[in-house]
Structure formats: structure tokens, C-alpha cells
Amino acid sequence: MTARLVYAAIAAALVLADYASKQWAYGRLRTGPDIEVIPGLLSFVYAENPGIAFSLFNSGSSTTRWLLVGFSLATAIAVAVAALRTPASDWRSQTICALLFAGIAGNLIDRVQTGRVIDFIDAYVGTSHWPTFNVADSAISVGAVLLALELFRKPEPAEADVKSGNESAQNS
């Protein structure tokens, strides 16, 4: 299996995990009681978000829905293009792209199907709650943190030569 297929498989597995977990949440939590997983820290609670992170742009209007679909689709395409332009051997960047693409695609599926994203993971300490999220949101968040770390990481000398196009330094 080629390296690119491995990253595509990771992204596909995350999209499937996100979809399956949202279907479970819809069937189990929408009408049933919440599930306290770790008392005082983690619960499963059904929520729908017509907007984006932190419920921004959550008007629920058809125009907003399709603008968010368009933005998500354009972003997913940009991430896929970045992955294809990045060497398959660059496992850090490929992992980041796989996480970002999976998260964007997972939420895009909900947005196209229903106009809302299903959220169900509620992390909290006492009465302080983080906004409810899902598997796709987690993939985006982890990918974004890894991207930020990657941007500040000092490249190793061989990496810097390859990225600058000076491959002869590597061959000597």
C-alpha cells in the first residue's frame, strides 16, 4: 500500500467513525437521556449546530447553510490539493492533511444532508462546559494544533535543503 493510500485510509476511517458516531447519537441521545461517561468531566448530550465552531453563523437560514457548504467544500478541496502537492514521505504534513480533510468532510456531510451538524461530546469541569463537539471537530482541532506546531518547528538540515530545492546538498 502506498503512503498516500495510508493517509487516505486514515481520513476515510475518521469520516466513517464520525458518521457512525453521529448516527448513534441521533438514534440514542436525541430522544433518550444523556449519558454521563466520566462524572464531572464527560457526557454524551445530543445537540445540533446549524453554524460553525462555537455556534458562529448559526442563523439556520438556507443562505447561511449553503454558504457554509460552499466554504467547507472549498476548504476540503484546498486541503486535498495541499496533500497531493506535499511529498508522500512527509508524514507530518500528510497526517495533518488527513485529519483536517476528515473533519471538514465529516461535518460537510451533515451540513449537506440536514443543514446542521450533530454534536454530542460534552466535556466539562463542574459547571464550566466546553462547547459540545463531535469526532469531526476533534479531527479538525488536532489537525489545527499539529499544523500550528509544524509551522513553528525548526526543520532538520536535510528537510530545509529539500524544501528550498537544494537537493544536491542532500546527495553529497
The DSSP secondary structure of 67-126, one letter per residue, reads HHHHHHHHHHHHHHHHHHHS-TT-HHHHHHHHHHHHHHHHHHHHHHHHSSEEEEEEEEET
Q: What are phi and psi of 48, to 5 degrees?
A: -125, 140
18, 110, 119, 122: the catalytic one is: 119
For residues 137 and 107, is the Cβ–Cβ distance under 8 A? Answer: yes
pLDDT digits (tens, 9 = 90+) for 147-171: 999 999 877 766 655 555 554 444 4
Is 161 a known active-site residue? no
- How far apart CA 43 and CA 35 sit, in angstroms, is 6
Q: Would you state the pLDDT for residue 78?
A: 97
Cα 32 from Cα 46, distance rounded (Å): 9
pLDDT at 65: 73
From 18, 110, 122, 137, active-site residue: 137
At 75, which amino acid appears? T
Q: Are 8 and 101 in contact (CB under 8 A)?
A: no
Q: Determine whether 119 is an active site residue.
A: yes
Sign, CA dihedral 141-145-52-99, equals negative
For the stretch 93-141, pLDDT in tens is 999 999 999 999 999 999 999 988 999 999 999 889 898 999 999 999 9
Q: Considering the entire predicted model, what is its pTM?
A: 0.83
| pLDDT grade for 61, boundaries at 50, 70 and 90 | low
The three cell numbers of residue 167 are 537537493
